[in-house]
Structure 1
């Protein structure tokens, strides 16, 4: 198949450090190339990929977001996708609803994976205007606010099995990895670790949009003696950061559409203590690969019994459920089904 993959431009593909969507796109693209597909990637010009690269910006636009309009880059890139569309059998967008008006103009099939939450006011009216767009969700939970959309499948993220290695023996700290934001609740992680009497290491991005929250709510907590802030970490540092942790704390306060860090932890053999929100119940097997909790009290109690979780079972669950091969295979089947449907429809019109 001739497949175009269209990535957001906020980070390069794959990101140097923090970044979820662009990291998943990188693994999907390389996996499709390995299967012999002809893949074109629309992404930042400094992206590293096995596919044919079409640049939408020189570099990650989050680096210049204070001085540039990020949507200008995206709209220009999406128009370029339309201009080249006769070279593709299918275009796979990862740019959420921004791509919808462009997708309607394509002479080929299109698919959009939604990577963000769908419970924000105003989205229902927008999506009703584009209810014909074929979509993939990254969790069943993500669909809940808009179940009537044209969902073709749920495809959980997957990552390369050799990216992160299994760590049989952890150290004594617990980890928080992600973004410093009200939705991710680093303050909860700090409180849970304090009450459990354990050191907490935090590796997290502080975006400009979250700077005020950090300075007003979190910066002072970083001065507590049990807290160590490690900045953002790349994949090489992430291996030991997650793998040596006794547990990953995932104390979210929003309907997380997926939560890539949870499967990264499982790949290292590290159990996850997650608040029971969003996609967490689809990823964490309670009592097997970690614990689902509803409060700080329950999280503290879960930490007290974290050693009952078999780290080898965490790694095995990752390999069984969250490999990039499984993800690529699912998407390939969706593409094939869509193209069969397009051919069937064209044959019916010809008849």
Structure 2
């Protein structure tokens, strides 16, 4: 089986720091290679993989201002689809632009939908639903107007996030700085529970950051560390009391939530989007309605067993499980067309 894996080009695959779509693409690619699948990863030329790397994009557009996103996205797609006949299946991880090419080739195609940002993009999804096999990353993220072939939860490399039974005393916010992600709410919970808060992630909404976040950062009780990856990311997720994920939107999945739980860190999350699919209330964390509920949940964290939190991730959200799920999907698609 030969698979063409199309990665996004906003960041390197895998990302150096931030880049959830690229992170999942990398994890799945490596998991499939481990299962003996012949994968060609189409990604930026600086990407790292044990699969075959094929890239025409010199660098990620979020890291190099000379890279025009639209120009190079379509340059990459033209490069991929010119070779479509060499592959048994094309797996698109890079949103809807690839759909424009799908009717020009016979190779079956899968698109993992990493969250529909707006109904305005449905015109590049709905007309292609009988040609392309759509995969939702959570049941909560299935759009009622679209036809899906499967729901496959993301998986992580659990060995990269070993359980820390001791944890820490401080609270953690991990994600982009944006009102959707509840940065201000996390700060309020930390202040009202008299715990230090560490904030990690890129600033996505600068006006929000300057208005709601920056005035509350004092370098002591509220500390902002920026976007991090690698060992620093793991230590941040591991050496903490609880992760605050007080979202104001329907989160499609939440990689940092799973990574934190793999480290044994319980998560306090607003119960929207995929959170009830990821967090088992009062076992791996707490699902709350608002800031008041989150404050109450902080007082219950010591009732949870960090080893049990970590074990739940190993059972349900490993990269091995994710790769097996996708391999079964590929095989079922190819069997249908034989």
TM-score interval, smaller chain: over 0.9
1:127 to 113, 125, 128: 125
* Partner Cα distance (2:220, 2:41) in 1: 45
Correspondence for 1:268 = 263
Q: Deviations over 1:152-184 (max 9, x none)?
A: 111111011211111000211011111111211
* Partner Cα distance (1:124, 1:108) in 2: 23
Residue 309 of structure 2 corresponds to residue 314 of structure 1: yes
* Partner Cα distance (1:216, 1:106) in 2: 49
Correspondence for 1:147 = 144
Written as runs of structure 1 = structure 2, the 5 A alignment for 1:90-239 is: 90-117=89-116, 120-132=118-130, 133-143=132-142, 146-207=143-204, 210-223=205-218, 225-239=220-234
* Partner Cα distance (2:33, 2:18) in 1: 24
* Partner Cα distance (1:140, 1:263) in 2: 16
TM superposition shift of 1:341: 0.7
1:56/1:74 contact within 8 Å kept: no
Q: Deviations over 1:239-258 (max 9, x none)?
A: 21111111000011111110
Residue 300 of structure 2 corresponds to residue 305 of structure 1: yes
TM superposition shift of 1:125: 4.1
TM superposition shift of 1:262: 0.6
Q: Deviations over 1:91-121 (max 9, x none)?
A: 0001111211112222211100000235x24
Q: Deviations over 1:283-330 (max 9, x none)?
A: 000000000001100000000111101101111100000000000000
TM superposition shift of 1:127: 2.9
TM superposition shift of 1:225: 4.4
TM superposition shift of 1:224: 7.1
1:117/1:255 contact within 8 Å kept: no
Correspondence for 1:30 = 30
TM superposition shift of 1:142: 0.5
Correspondence for 2:324 = 329
- CA RMSD across the alignment: 1.4
Per the alignment, in what secondary structure is the counterpart of residue 200 of structure 2?
strand
What is the total number of aligned residue pairs between the two structures?
Answer: 337
TM superposition shift of 1:37: 1.2
TM superposition shift of 1:56: 3.7
Per the alignment, in what secondary structure is the counterpart of residue 187 of structure 1?
helix
1:117/1:256 contact within 8 Å kept: no
TM-score by length of 1: 0.93
Moved over 4 A (4+): none
Could you tell me which runs of 5 or more consecutive residues in structure 2 were left unpaired when the two chains were aligned: none
Change (3 A) 1:56 1:250: farther
Q: Deviations over 1:32-64 (max 9, x none)?
A: 111111110011110010111111422221023
TM superposition shift of 1:128: 2.8
Correspondence for 2:57 = 57
